[in-house]
Structures are given as structure tokens and as C-alpha cells.
């Protein structure tokens, strides 16, 4: 019986959703005093980290024979684990790994869930809610379209919106360094693709009465296994000036698409395509397509735009996505970049790409961080084609400001409000 490597996680250390990792395995041989690494037995093989061991999930790797092996596991956040192991004949070698930066500090973890059922606040909580040392999360509903040129005014208004936004989390000062909040979404049936703006929503994290982070919230994302999102808030320091500053991370609970958008965010197109073309990736895409999820479709559109595709069906599909969901900036950005990348090098293609990026600009802040980066790169490129164009220059200025103030490592666009409002900008 051939030996195996079983990838498993320490359940006592789990925090956050499972993620796909890419595993490569090389045999190690010894020639006198010299070690040699052979051809890989597994190369970028998908394994599930943070979930129970299951051969069907690809967490069991069958080796050709006993011996020494070099194992490399690449995580979706850019970290990696590389180790050597010795596996005996017929042995099931258990390799215990965990996603990095998932452990919870000893000072404590607060976990909450919320629903959109209105709450009646008593007099005591009402007094508590206005204290300056309270950590709050509010859902902000955007009733009218806000283009990128209006984002500064919208962010400025957040202090007053905080009083009327729906509070879904409220925590008085405590010693906890981390808080977690399960975030439900709106049923998919309520989303009309032809609405100009189907009730766009934001998650706003505030501390001491000041807004810290504004997260573009895909509020209609559906997930077959429960609540689709977890919001993780981590205190930046346990003492000193950063005690009341919090980092914010909106994590997708779907292990397949959650991994895909994380690899996509850091520009690892090889890993992104490996996941999207895998059996689990295709199955997840089919389910989301059946549910009509435009946000998962936008992630796939970015993969086609960045990694390239020669299939006309992909081009047609991206055009349909952009025209059908006229409120979604990401679909227009992906199609615009694909037009620049794969289209003819002529004036017609440049004009079409500019039209798409102008359309995305009018739709507002992209839901995905990668989309904001692409928009800045595309407008910078178009400025070389049409130097001095005032419309392109204005769009580029607003897009750059948002890009500078967003958290570049987060898959979903997370705007650092104070940093953004503190930038020198010309308002128009």
C-alpha cells in the first residue's frame, strides 16, 4: 500500500473560514553527501486548510513510495510553509498546518451574529451608544448612486450617517483584541439586475465616535452553507496611541471563492486559474451562476481580463454581465481592461475602453480591491494615449485617492476613512 500525506488542521487553532491552498511535493534523494531534489510529484495541487480531513476534498496525497520529501504549501494571503518529511512504507503521514495569522490572542475573542430584525433599545443602552469608547459596526444603505467623484462627500457625511445607520454590532471598551461578526446578506431574489442601484450597502466600522473603515459590502451574495461573510476586527495595539484603532477584514466563508478572490487580490493569476479550473471551482461557479450571483461573476470576469482568454464566449459573457447589471462597477472595469489587453491597437478600441472605464467611474467604488487597482492603471495608460484630457485626468485623480486610502491586502474594497479624507484633493 502506497504511503500518503494527510493534510489536516489543528481544530483548536481555527479562526476564520477554510481556504484552498496550493501544495507541491518533491522527492529528495541522497548521493553520498549530497541531497538532490527530483521532479515534482504534485505541483500546485489544491488542498483544503481549516476543514476536516476528507479525501474527497483533496487533502490526502498519495505518494509513489516511501522516502524523504520536500513539501511546500502556498496560502492565499501570500504566506507559505516549506518543510521536509520522511514517510515510511504504507504510512499515513499527518501534516498539521493552519492558515497563518488565524490564531486568537490570549486576551480574548468576541464573536457575534446579527440579523436585520429591528431592536428596541432601553434607556441604558441608548446612553451607552453615545459613549466615545464604543466599537460599532453599522450598515449604511446608499439610496442614490455615488460616483467616484462624489465619494469624498459621501465619506464626509458618515459622521452624521452613523446616527441613522443600522447598528448591527456595539461593544463597549474591553480587553479583547479581536472581535468577529457573522454578516448575513439580502436574499438573492430581491436583486433586480436592471435596477440602476439595487440598494447598495456598506459596512462602517467606528471607534470612539469616529468612522475608521468603510467596506464595500456585496449584500446580496448567497452561500449554500449558511452566512456568507465574517467581519473580523483586530485592535492594532494593546496599548499606546493605536489602542482605539482597528483593522477590518471582510472574509468570504465560501472556501473556494474565498481563496480565489484572495489569490486574485495579490495578483497570483496562476493560483487563481488553478482554483477556477478545478472541479471544486467549476462546481462553485455553476452554483453561483444558477443563483444569478453578479459578485462571483465579477470575480470570474477579473480572472478572464487579467489572465487572458481567447474564447469568444467569455467575451460575450463579460459584455452581458456589464450591460445587465448596470450598477456594478467591477463588470465594466474587467471588460474595459480586457478590451485594452486583447483588442486591436487602434483608436476605436481605445475609445471603447475609455467608455467602459467612464461607465465604471459613474457606478462608484468597485466592490473588489483589484478592480480599483486596474482602474488606476487603465486610466494612467489612457492618459499616455490622450495626454492632457481633462475628463481622464479628473477620473484618475479621484481613483488614485481611493486607491491610496484602501487596504491593498483586502479582497473587498476597504476604505480607510480618515486617511482618505486627509488626502489633498481637488473637489469637483
* Domains of the chain: residue spans and CATH: 4-96 (2.60.40), 109-252 (no CATH), 256-421 (no CATH)
The four Cα atoms 357, 361, 366, 369 give a dihedral, to 10 degrees, of 70
d(CA 204, CA 161): 10
Residues 6+ apart with CB under 8 A from 252: 17, 221, 228, 229, 258, 261, 411
Retrieve residue 179's grid coordinates: 472581535
d(CA 98, CA 46): 15
Beta strands (DSSP E) in 88-198 are: 92-96, 109-113, 135-142, 166-171, 178-183
Retrieve residue 22's grid coordinates: 496550493
Note the helical H segments in 325-389: 329-342, 347-363, 369-385
CB contact at 8 A, 255 and 41: no
**In this structure, how many other beta carbons lie within 10 angstroms of the beta carbon of residue 108?**
12
This model's pTM is above 0.85:
no
CB contact at 8 A, 80 and 72: yes
Q: For every one of its 428 residues, what pLDDT tens digit does the chain have, with 9 covering 90 and above?
A: 789 998 887 655 555 688 888 899 999 998 878 889 999 999 988 888 876 544 445 588 999 999 999 999 988 888 889 999 999 999 999 998 876 654 333 333 444 444 433 333 333 333 334 445 578 899 998 878 899 999 999 999 887 755 557 888 888 866 678 899 998 887 555 455 554 445 689 999 998 878 889 999 998 887 777 789 999 999 877 777 677 788 999 999 998 899 999 999 998 988 888 888 887 888 888 777 766 789 999 999 999 899 877 788 888 999 999 999 989 999 999 999 999 988 777 888 899 999 999 999 999 999 999 999 999 999 999 999 999 999 999 999 999 999 999 999 999 999 999 999 999 866 55
**In this structure, how many other beta carbons lie within 10 angstroms of the beta carbon of residue 143?**
8
Amino acid at each position: 500500500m502506497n504511503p500518503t500525506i494527510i493534510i489536516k488542521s489543528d481544530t483548536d487553532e481555527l479562526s476564520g473560514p477554510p481556504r484552498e491552498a496550493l501544495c507541491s511535493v518533491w522527492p529528495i534523494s541522497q548521493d553520498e553527501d549530497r541531497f538532490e531534489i527530483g521532479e515534482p510529484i504534485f505541483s500546485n495541487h489544491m488542498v483544503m486548510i481549516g476543514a476536516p480531513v476528507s479525501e474527497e476534498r483533496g487533502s490526502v496525497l498519495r505518494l509513489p513510495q516511501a522516502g524523504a520529501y520536500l513539501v511546500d504549501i502556498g496560502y492565499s494571503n501570500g504566506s507559505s510553509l516549506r518543510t521536509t518529511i520522511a514517510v515510511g512504507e504504507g504510512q499515513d503521514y499527518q501534516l498539521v498546518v493552519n492558515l497563518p495569522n488565524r490564531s486568537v490572542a490570549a486576551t480574548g475573542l468576541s464573536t457575534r451574529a446579527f440579523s436585520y430584525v429591528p431592536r428596541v433599545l432601553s434607556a441604558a443602552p441608548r446612553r451607552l451608544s453615545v459613549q466615545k469608547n464604543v466599537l460599532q459596526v453599522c450598515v449604511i444603505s446608499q439610496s442614490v448612486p455615488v460616483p467616484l467623484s462624489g465619494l469624498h462627500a459621501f465619506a464626509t457625511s458618515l459622521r452624521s450617517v452613523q446616527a441613522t445607520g443600522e447598528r448591527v454590532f456595539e461593544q463597549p471598551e474591553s480587553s479583547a483584541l479581536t472581535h468577529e461578526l457573522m454578516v448575513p446578506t439580502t436574499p438573492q431574489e430581491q436583486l433586480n439586475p436592471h435596477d440602476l442601484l439595487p440598494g447598495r450597502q456598506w459596512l462602517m466600522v467606528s471607534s470612539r465616535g469616529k468612522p475608521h473603515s468603510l467596506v464595500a459590502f456585496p449584500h446580496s451574495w448567497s452561500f449554500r452553507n449558511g452566512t456568507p461573510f465574517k467581519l473580523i476586527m483586530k485592535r492594532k495595539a494593546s496599548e499606546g496611541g493605536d489602542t482605539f484603532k482597528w483593522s477590518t477584514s471582510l472574509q468570504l466563508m465560501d472556501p473556494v471563492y474565498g481563496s480565489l478572490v484572495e489569490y486574485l487580490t495579490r495578483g497570483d493569476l496562476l493560483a487563481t486559474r488553478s482554483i477556477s479550473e478545478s472541479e471544486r471551482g467549476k462546481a462553485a461557479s455553476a452554483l453561483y451562476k444558477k443563483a444569478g450571483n453578479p459578485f462571483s461573476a465579477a470575480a470570474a470576469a477579473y480572472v478572464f481580463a487579467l489572465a487572458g482568454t481567447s474564447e469568444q464566449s467569455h467575451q460575450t459573457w463579460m459584455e452581458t454581465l456589464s450591460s445587465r447589471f448596470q450598477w456594478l462597477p467591477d463588470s465594466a472595469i474587467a471588460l474595459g481592461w480586457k478590451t485594452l489587453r486583447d483588442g486591436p491597437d487602434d483608436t476605436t478600441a481605445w475609445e471603447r475602453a475609455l467608455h467602459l472605464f467612464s461607465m465604471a467611474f459613474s457606478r462608484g467604488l468597485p466592490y473588489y480591491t483589484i478592480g480599483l487597482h486596474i482602474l488606476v492603471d487603465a486610466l494612467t495608460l489612457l492618459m499616455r494615449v490622450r495626454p492632457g484630457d481633462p475628463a481622464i485626468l479628473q477620473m484618475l485623480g479621484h481613483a488614485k485617492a481611493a486607491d491610496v486610502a484602501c487596504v491593498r491586502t483586502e479582497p473587498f474594497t476597504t476604505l480607510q476613512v480618515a486617511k482618505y479624507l486627509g488626502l489633498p484633493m481637488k473637489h469637483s
